[in-house]
Structure 1
Amino acid sequence: MTASASTPRGAPAPSRLQAELAGRILHLLKAQGAGPGHHLVEHDLCQAFGVSRTPIRGALKLLAQQGAVESRANRGFVLLGSVKAAPQIEAANIQDEEDKQLFVAIAEARNLGRLPTQCTQQELVRMFGAKLATVGRVLRQLSEMGLVERKPGNGWSFIASIDSAAAQAESYAFRQILEPAVLLQPGFELDRAWAQACRARHIAFKRKPWRPTLAVEFFEMNSDFHEQLARCSGNRYMLGAVQRQNQLRSFLNYHWDYGVERVQSSITEHMAILDALEAGDRDTAAELMRGHLTSSKRARSPKRGKSFAA
């Protein structure tokens, strides 16, 4: 049989990780010469690809939607026919994608009040169906970012972040004063090499088909934009304030539910600010920055109702 990459109409779009794992499963079955009725064992697939059961189950469900496998009572998934062809697989880091999925899931749970301030690694494993190694990597990254800290023993504690409508409003009010002023500092000097690299990064990101885990990369790109402009100001205190704001709003942005339109608009606004700075017009850049922050503040989430895009 030839594997199909299509998804039935009305079915939810698969995640990148699910689609990639589905392709890798087909490649594995083809290499094994597996025939009709071959039983796909979840545990074996988890071991083969180094991921947890959750994305493997998603990949198997996707293959079932495509007609490659079938779910049977008390047997799990079985292959319906020999795999004669498998889709091309984009080179990607499955571990990195799985880590980002957990980033997004933790951020959503924190934003919605479903994850307590203090928890253990095992509790996160059970809550999100993630591998212990994945949870450990993500917690270490969050710790390096100053978002969690290890408690005595084996527990972890989340650091205070922007978690209310009032706090968000205060954050934007502060940033609307601070960040335009950053661009007007007497010592401001644009790092043109960084500006060129930043522009290229934004353009490349804008071309990517949106998927939830891109929220992590988008926030990293977005926070780098604001932080580097503050660094160009030559004012260490302004830089510190911008870095602190980036840290406080991390979880709001890792759980991105403001729509791809806001992503595209934010990138366009960043490019306009860079255009003005490269032309030496810092007054216009400051006004554009104020407008950018105002637009972000207005981009309220239809799901959470109280959070703002950044």
Structure 2
Amino acid sequence: MNLQLRSQRLRSRRWLPLTAIAISAAVFSAACGSTAADDKTDTPTTNSSVTVTHARGEVTVPATPSRVVVLGSGDAQMASALGATVVAAVANPSSADKNWPGTQPPLNSDVMTLDSVKPNVETIAAARPDIILATTAQQSYVDLYDQLTNIAPTIIYPTAAFADSGEDLLRLIGKVLGKEDQANTLISAANKEVIDFATSNPSLKNSTYAFGQYAGGTLYLLAAKENPSTRFLTSLGLQLSPEVAQLAAGGTANGFVTLTPELFSSLGTADHILVSTPGDPEGTQFRAVPLVSELGDNLHVISTDLAGALLTANPSSVNYLIDQLQPALA
């Protein structure tokens, strides 16, 4: 079947359920995370400055930061796992404690003062950050990069939005926070957990998958191979369905393509089909689409919490991802 792709740029609000985790809240409970800004020291330690390169050029962080602002869900996960002092963060609107799934330890709710999509530069400045982390932030924040750098050194993704591996992002954040050893330790622990899971589930090896979100009659399907989601699922032994991967030839937006219902047949080639359906937890409307109703047990309607965490998969969220994926992949 010749698939006539309708590739269009995905708007941030369209993907809010994924990246804002309404995609949200099945967070692990754990010990208290970072405390409020008033409880933190204001003076950075006197380590040497660090210079890193990302998609907007070189950034020099003068000293190990003691006040950190995070503008993306993945940034919150990684900063918390590294023990950073987070003084302001984007909040998860769908979680009672405002944390994003996979954030361990959870951040205190009183630092979750920022909207995940609508930037408030004044609130960010009022937090008096030494550094701003935006490697997984919504494009609305990245568009304000020049303003943010006037407040504090700002770190965005190395190459493109949702294109770099979670390991690379964690190493980058670890470097600018002066926590490279902790980052490497997290990466090693996550790799071991992935290997253990893959070894315990040998049937996954070389099985195929498709991952996306259905909203408003349109399926947003991951088709590119260079993104955190694909890298993580591949590490478990899964392979992106070749027919789905072929769709990327028509162009993608942040790794995704858009399909109308008549093109949903491409899902049928995947052994594991992972689709979130925001606003319809059981996926009733999606399952009612004729080509979807034929997918049978291969279709797994996943929570928007899990879908969002997959979008920013990184070593600090591996435990959450594996725990949540196991029922669908077992």
TM-score range, shorter chain: under 0.3
State TM-score, norm by structure 1. Answer: 0.24
Q: Say which one has the larger Rg.
A: 1
Q: Higher relative contact order by CA 8 Å / sep ≥ 6: 1 or 2?
A: 2
Judging by fraction of residues, say which structure has more strand: 2
